[in-house]
Amino acid sequence: MSPPRVRFAPSPTGYLHVGGARTALFNWLFARHTGGTLVLRIEDTDRERSTEAHTRVILEGLSWLGIQWDEGPFFQGEYGRQHKADAERLVAEGKAYRCFCTRDELEAQRREAESAGRVFRYDGRCSLLTAEEVERRRAAGDASTIRFRVTDDEIAWEDAVHGRISFQGRDLDDFVILRSDDSAIYNMAVVSDDIAMDITHVLRGDDHISNTPKQIALYRALGHQPPVFAHVPMILGPDGKKLSKRHGATAVGDYQDQGILAPAMRNFLALLGWSPGGDREIIPEDEMIRLFTLEGIQKKAAVFDGSKLEWMNGEYLSALPADQLVGPVRRRLEQIGVSDNGRDLRPLIDSVKARSRTILQVAERVAVRLDPSRSELDEKGQALIRKMGPAFASNLLLAADALEPLRNGAWTADRLLACLKDLAESNGLKLGDAMQPIRVALTGSTVSEPVNELLAVVGPERSLARIRDVARRTAGEPPAA
């Protein structure tokens, strides 16, 4: 059997949605796993809503996620002649027919059916037209569409994720395949293109299940073997409804902006609706490709859980060498207007990345270490100052004096720790009472890397200046109640 050919076919009517991104990811994983080919096709036949900007954003999103396509991008809009030719061929073979019903007439029929409590299905009246009548009306310039003639047989297929799915032909009506302006309707265009591109496996959202019988009927009418269909489940918001704008971030670009790492996003998305079996959570790209199978795809829709994404991102962040974080962190620093003064950011990144979950957090914390005066006192920091009372400022001053001698050349994490321990001991302080005020002074918060390491990355000048500054400004605090 020749290697599979799959495709990802987004319409450029919006940004790259996480659902679309996951569909693309599954196609890519399948292609890589099987040694097949991934074709990218932009379905831009909806002229009203498609834009080049959207196309570009979608392509960038895919690239960011590390999804490379092997062929394309092709633009469906360029294949209009083929779509039309296929539709007309079906008419010539009697498998489709010209329909002269206008939208208004159709609308009236629909309303009538509904008020009678019936389901509206096109009754096929135009299929009764004689060849002469059709010719006469076309010659007269009457607009017409082409409708596909659906037979009553059962249409079934073995879906790679759902198993056997079947529809009855009589539940379908004769659907339009070519508009009166000669452009193809989605189902026609897709089938025509998938045939032309030799697509062997169609992996797409399961909201397309009800399109599938129509498409299979078209394949058969066109004399082609339908591909294997694999309908992947939808992604839902926390309320169980289809994920949409009102659930917050839904575009992959949003996550990129929030400081999510591409490998984390990819890992998270892969596990939404697919499982290699067993307990795997963090799965590197090559493993993922090796383990990916259609059988591992879930039937059930999955809820997008942002907190798990963040956790996973934190895992990737901690594991990533600081080297690879310098670029993104520097970009973010520029965005928030912080200069790195030409400093090597790696030690700073190393000291904060284990405690961070996004690049944004890393950058924020690096910024504070670059310039402690940027820190903002948070609630816990305020609570500590209240609790310690005058001791907060006086311990700070004590520390500054003790640390002063290390200023020239001895400002290392080891020496700083030893010095702080001595300080606590000789003044009868608990280690925490010596350390915490420094932490708060430098970061505004009671949470950070070990204080000696913090001091080391901030450096002697800024540390000492900041400690004394904060000591001076808090010296007037009232004693604890």
Nearest distance in Å: CB 337, RNA: 27
Instruction: List beta partners, residue 168.
Output: 154
List, by residue number, the catalytic residues: 245
Full DSSP string of 281-308: -S--HHHHHHH--GGGB-SS-EE--HHH
| 222 versus 431: smaller Cβ distance to RNA | 431
The amino acid present at 71, given as its one-letter code, is E
Contact call for residues 45 and 331 (beta carbons, < 8 A): no
| 3 versus 284: smaller Cβ distance to RNA | 284
| 28 versus 175: smaller Cβ distance to RNA | 175
Nearest distance in Å: CB 99, RNA: 8
- Best CA proximity match to 100, nearest among 130, 138, 132, 64: 138
Alpha-carbon gap, residue 20 to 260, rounded angstroms = 18
Alpha-carbon gap, residue 261 to 195, rounded angstroms = 37
Question: What are the residues whose beta carbons fall under 8 Å from the beta carbon of 155, sequence distance 6 or more?
Answer: 166, 167, 168, 169, 213, 216, 217
Question: What are the residues whose beta carbons fall under 8 Å from the beta carbon of 412, sequence distance 6 or more?
Answer: 456
Give pairs for 402-410: CB < 8 Å, separation 24+: 403/455, 403/460, 403/463, 403/464, 403/467, 404/464, 406/460, 407/460, 407/464, 408/460
| 102 versus 394: smaller Cβ distance to RNA | 102
Nearest distance in Å: CB 237, RNA: 10
Provide the 10 A C-beta neighbour count for residue 141: 6
| 296 versus 331: smaller Cβ distance to RNA | 296
Nearest distance in Å: CB 129, RNA: 15
**CA-based R_g, the chain, Å:** 32
